[in-house]
Chain A
């Protein structure tokens, strides 16, 4: 009998304090979205998950204690124009996209979880991979200039010097060449006009010809020839959302970077540059340890 009561009590303790309704919203449905939602549902059996498009949300407003997860820009744009929507988490949005869309408007009740690697983490990775590089080089353009402050702060915190140059890929290559000459490493930032499928070939060949590694801007560039980048994959996002949903919505900040991440590196490029770097798991562990401290 006592054991039964003990069992019942433990079960009660195990039960979540509240079961929430979690609504995923995107402009269009897809298999991968559904799979992701189901994976999260499996991790959080206490919550109810469903998918609704913005139109459906319009018609059938969710309860105020529900949680909304927005997965694309269109839906975010729609959400920002609503007044009576529950606390929202936005994923799959980069700082560049977010800043362009928000244009400085306040967004109460909406928390943006950025998809691009956080500046402090990338700078920390740079420090880890090339401990003797003191000067980081950074290219930016008009639209991505707002990111510079974060990078500068991150570099200052680690005692590194940040060299920046404004650059137009259509124009002269002199800023790029000058930057490569005055820095030890090229740090890629989330500037779609500077780093894309068209510009990456020339950027990588030029920096490689001068023995300079490119870090980032995202994991997708590592295969092309970037040395390494941090990134958050599906499992990381599952864990991330899990953490956020456990926290009360009143404690949600306007924006944040995911705390779950991994490192991916290009070993061939490392070998050609004469760098001895740890394997990706070890790098991930070292970076993560640095962050919890």
Chain B
């Protein structure tokens, strides 16, 4: 597209003199080069974005000293980070259940990484080293229009380093307390029209140290990863990028009590390790074509597989394997619970018959079963009180195939249209969770329009149409109006709707445990089904979210950027019950309403100092269930000061705080000091990191405890 001003001067000159001036034009002006920063490539200025975006760039990632992405999320206002154990963390935006975080879309280079079967994001098992991340953009707010259902509360979009920017070698080693041991190596190389990057890394640490009962906490983790990414420049207007990522590792899980035993404590725990072997594979391909400066197309395809192997041995009384026990469980799990409690606490065979006689505790159908179980328990010879042991597993394989085409069209100087379609196929195979295989297909159509009504008013709107084979049809719109006070200061008014489809686990689970290698055998067979089972309702509706936002984004000339957001979000038809095998009753009967404000301030003071402050204030939180509010702090935020002292010394000091994260106060100070050395052509960086907790609470759950409130680790990185 010829620059209008140039065209203007050419036309003007043509008017001046009738002679062939146009020919004379090329005497002095070079042939203009083809457009590179085309209308389709240019991103919006921050003030014109229809939402709140937090950007965590490479410098911030390094300054924070974080070893995991969830820890980096503490730098995003409104993100609540919780730990289930040392190798399982949850990241929620604003709130939701502590143990399951399934309302955030997480993408690595455009590839969605939440698990299809269980819809969680296994942060520890991502086939990605933090050293490979170039930047993370967090879209705070629903964005199903651009990213599909599951982007209900926000989107975390991770971009890895471009191969072209990573030529050369880099090695890094980190070592510290709590068993922190991280190694990383990468090699970038380029050929005629292609750039490649290969990185290998490994990570391990000991997780938490002890539980609140004083026992040692078994939650270490170990992983090894490989990433190979390439970028080919096929033609000046065509590019092909592809990636191969693998992760192999194991996460320790302890068994502290035989929690699924019918009668607690009746049989001692024989195997206290329920470690998970986790493997992730991913391959993706992206082809971009610039048809002309105002039209470009992108096609992206990816194939991913998640493999989890978790096998352990458990023992229970032979009683648990009687048909009456499973029948009573299927009738009403609480009835079985009552029976088990009585048997455990009082060694009295007359109590249950008494209860039955009273007629209040068991229904007509349940009573005979309760009596039968009682008889079994007190049967002479104690055959039913003998322990039976077997092996069981939570093995699951999930596969996802995704194909997406995206078209960006610039219709004139003030109108830009982004549209696309995608197909996704998810397949989950698990005997324990689904009794076999379960598949789902999702078709999606989306469009987004950006219209500059004038230099100051931008109207943006879009919608997503999705057809989920298992959950049905949905249409979610979004509309936003931005007022650009100046090109660098803008106000935004956004209304968006979003949906979340129930995942396979919530809606279609067929959860059973089959114990193998039984000893002693039961009924001549060396395998038997455990009494507890759960079935998904199959008819869950999608969750609906309506979000209203007013925001301001400004960039001042002296290096200060401010973003403020006021929000009012409601989630309806929310599926939020706990999902345990003996308490599995998800429904759409819940809701959540959150209202508050959050801000992000980033100030680059000259070239030496950078201040970064985030703060989120949740003013109102109403929910149908108290547990939803557990991971929502009323006040949370972070403050960071990064300084370049000169002479290649740099430091960063961060404070993270939240008044309540799962009802526990959290405050921590992170300090990092680094020095760079130039050794010939190579660069060496030595850094030391200290994290000091200021509170003395457990982390998220009462059993998550460290021996020491402080942890120190150091790293050395060589680049040449």
Of B160-168, B208-216, B533-541, B585-593, the one touching chain A:
B160-168
16 examples of A-B residue contacts, CB within 8 angstroms: A32-B26, A35-B24, A92-B28, A115-B28, A173-B167, A197-B34, A205-B37, A206-B165, A222-B32, A224-B37, A225-B35, A234-B21, A234-B28, A266-B37, A271-B487, A272-B43
Size class of the contact patch on chain B: 35 or more
> Across the interface, do B168 and A225 meet the contact criterion of CB distance under 8 Å?
no
B29 & A223 in contact (Cβ 8 Å cutoff):
no
Q: Is B24 a contact of A208 with CB atoms below 8 Å?
A: no
A272 touches B557 (CB 8 A): no
Contact B21 A35 (CB under 8 A): yes
Counting chain A CB atoms within 10 Å of each CB, the highest count among B1, B9, B28, B164 belongs to: B28
CB distance from A54 to the nearest CB of B (A): 19
User: Complex: how many Å from CA A171 to CA B190?
Assistant: 9
User: Are A233 and B46 in contact, CB atoms less than 8 angstroms apart?
Assistant: no
**Contact A35 B44, beta carbon cutoff 8 Å:** no
Q: Is the CB of A265 within 8 A of B5?
A: yes
CB atoms of A200 and B24 under 8 A apart:
no
* Interface residue stretch chosen among A7-15, A145-153, A273-281: A273-281
Give, as a whole number of angstroms, the nearest-CB distance from A84 to chain B: 29
Shortest CB-to-CB span from A46 to chain B, Å, is 19
Q: Take A218-B30, A233-B13 as given contacts and tell me if A264 and B5 are in contact as well, using a CB distance cutoff of 8 Å.
A: yes
For the complex, is A235 an interface residue (Cβ under 8 Å from B)? yes
Distance of A271 Cα from B1 Cα, bound (Å): 16
Question: In the complex, A99 Cα to B607 Cα: how many Å?
Answer: 36
Chain B hits for A197, CB < 8 A: 33-34
Instruction: Report the bound CA distance from A235 to B47 in whole Å.
Output: 40
- B165 and A235 within 8 A (CB): no
CB atoms of B33 and A223 under 8 A apart: yes
Instruction: Give every chain B residue within 8 A of A38 (Cβ-Cβ).
Output: 19
B486 proximity list for chain A (CB < 8 A): 276
- Within the complex, what minimum Cβ distance (angstroms) separates A264 from chain B? 5
Across the two chains, which residue of chain B brings its CB closest to A272?
B42
| Cβ-defined contact, B6 with A224, below 8 A | no
Binding site for B on A (CB under 8 A): 31-33, 35-36, 38-39, 42, 92, 115, 131-132, 135, 171-174, 177, 182, 197, 200-202, 204-206, 208, 218-225, 231-237, 262, 264-276, 279-280
On whether A268 and B34 interact (CB within 8 A), knowing A220-B29, A234-B21, the answer reads: no
Question: Considering only CB atoms, which chain B residue lies closest to A170 in the complex?
Answer: B190
- Which residues of A have CB within 8 Å of B178? none
B447 to A: closest C-beta gap in Å: 21
A275-B45 Cα distance, complex, nearest whole Å: 9
With A32-B24, A36-B27, A279-B5 as contacts: A223 and B47 at CB distance below 8 Å: no
**Chain A residue at minimum C-beta to C-beta distance from B236:** A201
Residues of chain B lying within 8 A (CB to CB) of residue A264: 3, 5-6, 9
| Complex CA distance for A20 and B45, rounded to whole angstroms | 56
Are A221 and B23 within 8 A (Cβ)? no
A31 to B19, CA, bound (A): 11
Chain A, residue nearest B188 (CB): A172
Residues of B near A39 (CB, < 8 A) are 17, 19, 21, 24
Q: What residues of chain B lie closer than 8 Å to A171, measured between beta carbons?
A: 167
B366-425 residues with Cβ-Cβ distance < 8 A to A are 413
From residue A87, how far is it (CB to closest CB) to chain B in Å? 22
Residues of chain B with a CB closer than 8 A to A265's CB? 3, 5
Query: Which B residues are CB-close (under 8 A) to A266?
Result: 3, 37
